[in-house]
Amino acid sequence: MKRVVITGAGTINALGHDVPQTLAAMREGKCGIGELSLRDVDRLAVKIGAQVRGFEPDKIFNRQQLALYDRFTQFALVAAREALAQSGLEFSGELSAKTGVVLGNSGGGMQTLDENYRTVYEDGKNRVHPFVVPKLMNNAAASHISMEFNLKGPSFTVASACASSNHAMAQAFQMVRHAMSPVMITGGAESMLCFGGVKAWEGLRVMSKDACRPFSATRNGMVQGEGAGVFVFEEYEHAKARGAEILAEVIGFAMTSDAADIVMPSRQGASRAISGALADARINREEVGYINAHGTGTAANDKTECSAVADVFGPHADKLMISSTKSMHGHLIGGTGAVELLACIMALRDGVIAPTIGYEEADPECEMDVVPNQAREAQVDVALSNAFAFGGLNAVMALRRV
């Protein structure tokens, strides 16, 4: 088996248009959640979200590109450009033939769907733009990254709701680990903050109308975000040989299914995924210093997640730090694990633990060190990133400081 390291990272989300801005915001405990600015917001019951602001796609992409890129594809390309630039890799010959793109995404081109449903249902038109299908298909982002960077290896999109990005990164990790490819581009993107996207979520009655406060006794639901995170996963010797900067090492992962309920999470499914990741990475639980929680801020997730962590870590659960950065960048659904991996990289490389902001009051069912409200300096050797999706699909990644 090969060792797998991360040699490039890119993002755009409500906290920043790149990795340095995002990490600075996480360090400062900034909140990216605010009043939604979108068409027909007055007809929504939930009027907040973590939108990407100040994004001017027409300054980044040309007219032909814009005709083909839904907002989630735009986010994915912006993040990929940053990650690939940092890695310093150029793709030709054998490397180009073997490198692919595995992205997580849940909703596909929701903005495109929303706009074109309006056109045919609300405006009563009988004609839509010819590119609706290639724009909304949820592999569009992975495909456009492959085209822009000449990546001719295995590329596809993984859809497992809130665990999509972690499942995608687990696939890319496997491919590099088992020498199928020396390099894989991976992560996730999502853009569901449109009228139909928010309206659909309202129906479940799990959304907060004021803030995302994971683990706090005063939590009252999740808040949606949008954006992308993209990483370059590279075989260790390949990276070392070219003198690449290594951000962190990916050392293991595990995936489990609850096989229980379509929306309610299971403590057992979550704890099996966490302990599976430790086993896959061949580490003792005492080595884990930080967990980036799934931490959605719902009643159901947070208490289930905390009890799963307590199950797996025993007495060490009281020593490790666990924070939910969704309190700042919202829940990016299919893109969330990718943006959250940045908090793990910051913990390992910079020794800064991103906080859980909005934390007001301890909840006896979530009694852990959730790094409330303020970032903390700490040396961490191993970090985990949790993702527990609707449908009972769980995926946990393990990373190590290099």
Partner 1 sequence: MDVKKQVIAIIAEQAVLEPSDVSMESTLEDLGIDSLGLVESIFAIEEAFDISIPFNANEPEKSDFDISSVATIIAGIEQLVNA
CB of residue 231 vs partner 1: minimum separation in angstroms?
A: 32
**H/E element, 382:** strand 382-389
Binding region for partner 1 (CB under 8 A) out of 258-266, 336-344, 351-359, 382-390? 258-266
Please say if 162 is a catalytic residue. yes
- Decide: is 264 part of the binding site for partner 1 (CB under 8 A): yes
* The one catalytic residue among 144, 167, 238, 294: 294
Site for partner 1 contains 206 (CB under 8 A) = yes
Q: Is 323 in the site for partner 1 (CB under 8 A)?
A: no
Supply the minimum distance, in Å, between the C-beta of residue 221 and partner 1.
5
**Residues across the chain:** 402
Of 98, 219, 400, 401, the one binding partner 1 (CB under 8 A) is 219
Among 73, 146, 271, 298, binds partner 1 (CB under 8 A): 298
Q: Catalytic annotation on 294? A: yes
Q: Rounded to the nearest whole angstrom, what is the least distance from the CB of residue 166 to partner 1 in the complex? A: 24
Give the residue with the Cβ less far from partner 1, 320 or 389.
Answer: 389
Q: Which is nearer to partner 1, 45 or 378 (CB)?
A: 45
| The dihedral formed by the CA atoms of 169, 170, 176 and 178, expressed in degrees to the nearest 10 | -170
Query: What are the DSSP E strand ranges found in 23-175?
Result: 34-35, 48-49, 100-104, 156-158
Instruction: Tell the smallest beta-carbon distance from residue 220 to partner 1 (Å).
Output: 5
Q: How many CB atoms within 10 Å of residue 170?
A: 27
Q: How many whole angstroms separate alpha carbon 318 and alpha carbon 396? A: 20
Nearer to partner 1, 85 or 300 (CB): 300
**HEC letters along 318-379:** HCCEEECCHHHHCECHHHHHHHHHHHHHHHHHHCEECCECCCCCCCHHHCCECCECCCEECC
Task: Compute the distance between CA of residue 143 and CA of residue 333 in angstroms, rounded to an integer.
Answer: 20
204 counts as binding partner 1 under rule CB under 8 A? yes
For residue 230, how many other CB atoms are within 10 A of its CB? Answer: 31
Each residue 120-159 as x (binds partner 1 by CB under 8 A) or -, in order, gives ----------------------------------------
The pair of structure tokens assigned to 288 is: 């884990």
Using CA atoms, how far apart are residues 238 and 299, in angstroms rounded to an integer? 45
Return residues touching partner 1 (CB under 8 A). Answer: 45, 203-209, 219-221, 262-264, 297-300
Residues designated as active site: 162, 294, 331
